[in-house]
Amino acid sequence: MTTALVYSEKYLEHNPGEGHPERPERLKVIVNALKRAKLWGTPKIKVLGPKPAKREDIELVHDPNHIELVERLSKSEKPLDGDTPVRKNTYELALLAAGGTIDAGRVVLSGDALNAFALVRPPGHHAGRNHSGGFCYFNNLAIAVKSMRLRTLILDIDCHAGNGTMDIFWGDNSVLYLSLHQWPCYPGVGWWDEIGEGTGKGFTINLPLYPNTGDDVYLRFVRSFFPPLVEQFKPELIGVSAGFDAHRSDPLTQMNLSSHTYYQVGKLLHEFKVLAALEGGYNLDALSHAVPAFLAGMRNQQLTLKEGATFTQKEIKEKNIQRLEEIKKFLSPYWSL
Ligand SMILES: [Zn+2]
């Protein structure tokens, strides 16, 4: 199996500023960890450089007004919101992140790789058709998925609900969006009754999890939804919003996962055509464990995990399982789960 990684040192130039959690070191740590794990630049793991996305690629997903806003703010260096500063090079680097994700998709589409991981910054899943924020400018994965024109299941494992991706595919039945996230948490959407509308009704699936959910319960949710949805929806591509901020050490969230979850989620994907794009994950040490675990899993390769698996405290486990059953019942008009 061949895997493509898309990366450029240019992605380190995106700098939201002193003390900002979405910092260049995140990607440096990931690259170093992948090199140490021999998951970088081998005959079967090719590393490719990105080309910037063209304006018409971004317009597949975003309103021209929103694109112009990001371009204009880059000139004035005015922020999109309090969490999402804009620098002189933001527009250019956001185009390169989207372009790198498109390039990763193309390698999968051509059959040169079974799966690909776009190691890009800035991230994308909070960027909707006409808005962005939460450290995001353009929705890298949504743009790449649209450009590929395949029936796609997007699995979003970032700890935050991908309100941007949800917005973009809300009325679209060619993309099934499945998100696991902490609840309550930023951005405040992603309850399980939010399922899309029109022809897209039933094609958005939100799995809100209680804070402190551990590997055991998280994987139970993944295994209860992902395989039956794949079987019934029959995607030609799996898109992954690969955020690693549900790790127990993440400073922005309160979940309790270890690299075991990321390895097992990767394993579930290993037979499919996969396009993964980096989203969040803000503890550097956690990234150095979780990202190699995910990639090794996706390649169905053995990897010795240095972290112990985590379990969910009894009360939270019971509440989560009760919720899991309620969600299954709620979705029964659309899917057999
Ligand atoms: Zn996140």
pLDDT tens for each residue of the chain, 337 residues long: 999 999 999 999 999 999 999 999 999 999 999 999 999 999 999 999 999 999 999 999 999 999 999 999 999 999 999 999 999 999 999 999 999 999 999 999 999 999 999 999 999 999 999 999 999 999 999 999 999 999 999 999 999 999 999 999 999 999 999 999 999 999 999 999 999 999 999 999 999 999 999 999 999 999 999 999 999 999 999 999 999 999 999 999 999 999 999 999 999 999 999 999 999 999 999 999 999 999 999 999 999 999 999 999 999 999 999 999 999 999 999 999 9
pLDDT of residue 49: 98
Q: What is residue 152's three-state secondary structure? A: strand
Range list of H helices, the chain: 25-36, 55-58, 64-76, 90-110, 140-148, 163-169, 215-233, 259-268, 284-298, 314-330
Distance from residue 186's CA to the centre of ligand 1 (Å): 8
Burial of 77 (0-12, 13-18, 19+ CB in 10 A): exposed
**CATH: 3.40.640.10, 3.40.800.20, 3.40.47.10, 3.10.129.10. Which one for 3-330?**
3.40.800.20
Dist CA 103 CA 111 (whole Å): 13
Q: Is 196 left (phi over 0), alpha (psi -120 to 50) or beta?
A: left
CB atoms closer than 10 angstroms to residue 252? 16
pLDDT of residue 278: 99
Point out which residues pair with 178 in neighbouring strands. 155, 205
Q: Which of 66, 126, 160, 181 is catalytic?
A: 126
pLDDT of residue 183: 98
Is-catalytic flag, 126? yes
Question: Per-domain residue ranges for the chain?
Answer: 3-330
Distance from residue 112's CA to the centre of ligand 1 (Å): 30
Distance from residue 84's CA to the centre of ligand 1 (Å): 13
Distance from residue 138's CA to the centre of ligand 1 (Å): 15
pLDDT of residue 63: 98
Distance from residue 251's CA to the centre of ligand 1 (Å): 11
- Is residue 182 within 8 A of residue 207, CB to CB? The reply is no
Distance from residue 241's CA to the centre of ligand 1 (Å): 10
